[in-house]
Structure 1
């Protein structure tokens, strides 16, 4: 792959020198080949120290409760879905791009609301009704 950057959007891309790729042996089935070839990819991206990310996006990525994010703010993506190193590398990059794209969406602010007067009245009427039903079950009223 001769690309110089991982493009997220037309205006946002991450240079290759910010991505650290390590090739390791994949776990699982694979026959005799599995012990000889390092096809799995471990992609590391320093979210906290990346100059390519806008501050708001960085904060959203770091505030996610994602187990792939280390305490130092480094995102680690393991890709071993495919049998070739190149395809796993591509898969890891696609997953990183998808994660960053998802964090681009700014969550909508929640607007606190109050129950209406009619809703409060309905709730209190229902409580009164339940109270009457329960009072009707008491021992005192059983023998009268």
Structure 2
């Protein structure tokens, strides 16, 4: 089990790793060794996630979640398989932890009396400025 927080932990058996050739620098090994890691996690069917966390994680991950509900994370920064594997798992844990945070509900507010007065005063000054620019014989709107 991979702990995310006190409420959620991920089952390691649900994680699927695929090792592929990495792009970028790698020296002599770049075309021979598959060091990049593609991590797949079934968000839609995972029993490890509560329903509210699942919905937020799908929304948070965006395009990284496929039509089948599988989250895909690609890690290819390091030159070793193990370091990339750890980086992919760390990113997954970070995303799930962020999805566990309940969004703060928005409370509608009303403008203060002072802000209303300032807005009306500004409008009045702007109107007077424009009125002074008009020629005396022009028709009023």
- SS of corresponding position for 2:30: helix
Task: Tell me the equivalent position of 1:35.
Answer: 31
Confirm whether residue 62 of structure 1 aligns to residue 91 of structure 2. Answer: no
- Extract unaligned runs of 5+ from structure 2: none
2:15 is matched with which residue: 19, 22, 25? Answer: 19
Q: Matched residues in 2 for 1:75 and 1:17: separation?
A: 15
TM-score of the pair, normalised by structure 2: 0.88
Question: RMSD in angstroms over aligned alpha carbons?
Answer: 1.8
Contact 1:6 1:93 in 2 (8 A): no
> How far does residue 69 in structure 1 lie from its aligned partner after superposition?
2.0
Alignment length, in residue pairs? 138
State the alpha-carbon separation in 2 of the partners of residues 65 and 84 from structure 1.
Answer: 25
SS class of match (2:2): strand
Is 1:79 the counterpart of 2:75? The answer is yes
How is 1:127-142 mapped onto 2 (pairs within 5 angstroms)?
Answer: 127-140=123-136
**TM, length-normalised to structure 1:** 0.87
Name the structure 2 match of 1:112.
108
| CA shift for structure 1 position 37 | 0.8
Does the 8 Å contact 1:57/1:103 carry over to 2?
yes
- Say whether the 8 Å CA contact 1:6–1:15 is kept in structure 2: yes
Q: Distance in 2 between matches of 1:65 and 1:52?
A: 17
1:131 Cα deviation (Å)?
Answer: 0.1
By how many angstroms is 1:17 displaced?
1.9
Give the structure 2 partner of residue 121 of structure 1: 117
Alpha-carbon deviation of 1:139? 2.1
Question: Offset at 1:92?
Answer: 0.7
Q: How does 1:86-101 map to 2 (within 5 A)?
A: 86-101=82-97
Instruction: Tell me by how many angstroms 1:140 deviates.
Output: 2.2
Query: For structure 1, which runs of at least 5 residues remain unmatched after alignment?
Result: none
